Every structure is written in structure tokens, then in C-alpha cells.
Amino acid sequence: MINLDDRELLAKIDKSDQLGSMSKWGELVKEARDKSKKLQIPSKVAWNNLSLEYKQPKNVIICGMGGSAIAGDYFVSLFENELSIPVIVNRGYYLPKFIDSESLVICISYSGNTEETLSRYHEALKRKSMIVSISSAGLLEKFATQIGTPHVKIRSGIPPRTAFPLMYTAIITIFEILDLIGGVEQQFEEVVKVLKKLAIEYSQESPIKENIAKEISYGIFNSIPLFIGYGIYAPISYRAKTQLNENSKVIAISETLPEQNHNGVVIFDNPNASLNDIAFIFLHDKEEPKNITTRFEEVKKLASKKSEKVLEILPQGKSKLAKQLSSTFLVDFISIYLGILHEIDPSITPSIDKIKQSLKIKYSLLEDIEREVL
């Protein structure tokens, strides 16, 4: 098996240096925070014969795909008890019917060229919705620049999956600027400190015996990871699934509590089912409600009878944002180390590239959108 302490071998497999990019998360959060706070919201934007008027929205829709969309899921889970208006996350080509001129549409695409997101930007224009966008470049930035819709430009040149803290920080800051949530400056200050500390602990320089990210990667190697999260850790469960899909190229499963107790828990009722190839990973917090703690404990008891691989990922930090991002940070490192254990470059995604290329050959959606928007 691969020795995760062999830095020369790590560099050979991790050709795009995702491990190095991960170590910069604290820096990325601070950078995105500083850039996002400079965002100016206009009172009005003109497009064709239409006028987009910026005011307090009655609802918000966050549009994105993959790592961009998951940033929206994180935001909703973290602030759902503070928000006074509906906020939803939308994955796909079309906006819901209720989105109108009183809706805020936040379009996120790291590359700026995600066709589903650009389709919704175009549709939002036609509905005279308030639009704010986030990207590193691409058509999304081009549209915002030429039309005048507010845009947050984030750092380019890193894998989109690694750019998650840039997009998540920008989303939170946009809501803060619009007075839809309270001040979060202290939380971000803690996040930067926590991430910089953990970057050392999880880095490739940190030896296996002192590196929990490496240890867990070995522990779940050749298993099917099943993540179960609750509350602000629920979207981390899904992020873990998608990160292991993309970085590790393995099957992974995402569940959330209490929903899992109404269906997924029944897998333990089959006396003939061997679940020893499943690694059960629980994402939660010691400060969670007592009834949720009981649910986790009962599921862990059942899992322990069927599998030798049952473990927990607990957060670090005091604020909810620090806790959420510290657990995510660990999950992301695990996904990269696991990919390396499988001797696969974590960054490459040939299947995704193949589908995109096929769509580009058969259709001209991006060209059509650009022509209609500009």
C-alpha cells in the first residue's frame, strides 16, 4: 500500500498539488472576505428594454452546480434560524416559476462557464430579478461587467473543488452586505485561525501517527464510506460523498439525521446482509440536541454490530462557522489522501470532461446564451 509519508510519491500522484492548495484554505477565506466586502449593490441595472431594480428581496435562490451549489447548502443550514425570508438552492437549467422581480438570484460558477448557471442568469434577466454573481472568470464575469450586475471575482487557477471556501465566504458576505444576516466578522477571524492550525496537522509533512486525515484514509480504504450528518453537518455529509467521488474516484453514500432513522436505518434489519465493507462515518457535534445525540448513539450501536469500521468526525472551534468548516477541511483532506492510496491523481475527472465535450459538440448552448444576453 502507498506510504502517505512518502512526499516524493505524493507529489508524483497528486500532480496538481491539491494537498498544497488545501493548505491555503485559511488564506483563501481571508482573501475572499476582503474582496467580497467591496461589493457595491446598484439601485438599478438596465438590460435591453428591461430594468432590474435592487431592493430588499422577498426570497433568494442560489444557483450553481457541484461545489458551487454545495456552498449554498452550507449557507442555508448555517443561517436557517436567522433568515427571515426563504432561501433555496437550485441545481439545473431553469428557475422556479415564483422567481420574479422581487427575487434575488445569486449565480455561482467557479469557471464562470457552467451552462446550467448561465442559463439561469439569462432567465433571471428576463424576469427582471436582482442578480449577483460569483466566479473567477468566464462568461459570468463578462455578463456582469457588460450589463452591470454586481459580481464578486474570486481567485482563479485552482481546482474548483478546492475553491469551495472562496465561494462560501462570498455568499455569506453578500447576505451580510444586504442586511439579510447579522455581522459575521468574528466568526471569520476564528475560521482563519482554525484552518491555518489544522493545515499543519493535516499536511503531507505531518506524519501518519500524528495526522488524523491520513489515519482515516487508511481506515476506510477499500470500504464504501457512508456519511451521516445532522444540522450544519448535513451538507458536509453530502460534500464528503461528492469529494470522495471526485478526488478518490470511489462510491460513497450520504445520509442525514433524523431522516436516516425513517429509512436508511433498516439496512441493519437484514440478518443475511454483511455490512463489513461499509465504513460508517458520523458527522456531528457534542452540543447537538439530546434527542439527536440519542439517534446517533442508537445508529452507532447498530452499525457496530455489522461493521468494524465505525468512526466519528467532530468539529473544532467555537463558532458554528468554524465548526462547519473545520469538519469540511478534514473531509476534503481525507478525500485527497484516499485518492492517492488508490494511486489516482485526485484532480482529474475524465468522465465529467467527456460529458462536457459531448454537449459542446452536439449543442451550442453557451454560444446561444452569450448571443442573447449581449
**3-class DSSP state for residue 351?**
helix
| pLDDT level of residue 273 (50, 70, 90 thresholds) | confident
Cell numbers at 257, concatenated: 439525521
- Which one, of 3, 128, 143, 140, lies nearest residue 64 by Cα? 140
- Number of neighbouring beta carbons within 10 Å of residue 164: 25
Distance CA 75, CA 328 (A): 13
**3-class DSSP state for residue 313?**
strand
- Which one, of 198, 197, 241, 204, lies nearest residue 220 by Cα? 241
Distance CA 300, CA 261 (A): 12
How confident is the model over 108-118, as a mean pLDDT? 97
| pLDDT given for residue 7 in this prediction | 96
How confident is the model over 286-306, as a mean pLDDT? 96
| pLDDT given for residue 290 in this prediction | 96
The model's pTM is 0.96
Catalytic residue among 38, 209, 262, 362: 262
pLDDT at residue 143 tops 90: yes
| pLDDT given for residue 183 in this prediction | 87
How confident is the model over 95-108, as a mean pLDDT? 98
- Domains assigned to the chain: 7-16+203-341 (3.40.50.10490), 24-184+353-373 (3.40.50.10490)
The DSSP bridge pattern shows strands 224-230 and 130-135 to be unpaired
How confident is the model over 128-145, as a mean pLDDT? 98
Name the one residue in this structure whose C-alpha cell is 475572499: 32
| pLDDT level of residue 364 (50, 70, 90 thresholds) | confident
| pLDDT level of residue 152 (50, 70, 90 thresholds) | very high
**Axis-axis angle for helices 234-243, 66-79 (nearest 10):** 170
Whether 262 sits among the annotated catalytic residues: the reply is yes
What's the pLDDT tens digit per position in 169-218?
999 999 999 999 998 999 999 999 999 999 999 999 999 999 999 999 99
Whether 246 sits among the annotated catalytic residues: the reply is yes
Whether 362 sits among the annotated catalytic residues: the reply is no
How confident is the model over 121-127, as a mean pLDDT? 98
How confident is the model over 3-26, as a mean pLDDT? 95
| pLDDT given for residue 101 in this prediction | 98
Q: Which residues pair with 227 in a beta bridge?
A: 254, 281
Question: Is-contact 215 240, C-beta < 8 A?
Answer: no
| pLDDT level of residue 160 (50, 70, 90 thresholds) | confident
| pLDDT level of residue 86 (50, 70, 90 thresholds) | very high
Q: Compute CA distances 269 → 25, 259, 261, 283, whole Å.
A: 42, 17, 12, 23
pLDDT at residue 158 tops 90: no
Catalytic residue among 176, 190, 246, 255: 246
Question: CB within 8 A of 194, min separation 6: which ones?
Answer: 26, 316, 317, 322, 325, 326
How confident is the model over 336-364, as a mean pLDDT? 94
**Axis-axis angle for helices 66-79, 320-341 (nearest 10):** 150
- Which one, of 32, 170, 41, lies nearest residue 108 by Cα? 170
- Which one, of 332, 119, 313, lies nearest residue 228 by Cα? 313
How confident is the model over 263-285, as a mean pLDDT? 95
| pLDDT level of residue 161 (50, 70, 90 thresholds) | confident
Question: Is-contact 188 321, C-beta < 8 A?
Answer: yes
